[in-house]
Amino acid sequence: MNNPKVALITAGIIFNKERTKILLIKRSDEMWDDAWSIPGGYVEHGETVEEALKRELKEELSLETIDTKFLAYEELIHPKKPHIQFVSLNFIVIAKEKISPNEEIKDARWFDLSEIAKVNHKIPKEGIEFINRKI
């Protein structure tokens, strides 16, 4: 493999203030094909993981965060990018519901927590466990 690398990313399992809905996205780059996923992005040199998450949510969704709490880390090598080992630090985020997706986001939607089991998604297992405790 040529130039394998490790990429540090951060992502949020985002709830509305009432904790009754979760925000999921479909990325324009179709990394997850047609599945819904949690938003996030790369951590830039010199910023904390939490700063990176807030920046990515603001840039991609114009999302205003209220609170963030670390949940778990996740490691993966994605079949579409096999030369990169991703390390994702995932957070629980409480945010205002108003969103305005940029061009990196194909679709964004708030789902009621009870709908998640019926949705084709890529929510990390720790996130699903957290959601199941809320239902």
pLDDT digits (tens, 9 = 90+) for 32-87: 788 999 999 999 999 999 999 999 999 999 999 999 999 999 998 888 888 889 99
Residue 17 has pLDDT above 60, yes or no: yes
Percentage of the chain lying above the pLDDT 90 cut: 81
CB atoms < 10 A from the CB of 11, how many? Answer: 24
Residue 115 has pLDDT above 70, yes or no: yes
Mean pLDDT of 7-32: 93
Question: Which phi-psi region, left, alpha or beta, contains residue 76 (left: φ > 0; alpha: ψ -120 to 50)?
Answer: beta
Residue 19 has pLDDT above 70, yes or no: yes
Q: How far is CA 37 from the centre of its chain?
A: 6
The reported pLDDT for the residue numbered 2 is 61
> How do residues 85-95 score in pLDDT, each as one tens digit?
999 999 999 99
Domain that holds residue 63: 5-134
Question: Could you tell me the CATH number of the domain that includes residue 103?
Answer: 3.90.79.10
Cβ atoms of 78 and 31 closer than 8 Å: yes
Q: What pTM did the predictor assign?
A: 0.91
Residue 131 has pLDDT above 60, yes or no: yes
Considering only CA atoms, which of 133, 134, 96 is closest in space to residue 20? Answer: 134
Q: What gap in Å lies between CA 125 and CA 116, rounded to an integer?
A: 13
**Counted domains in the chain:** 1
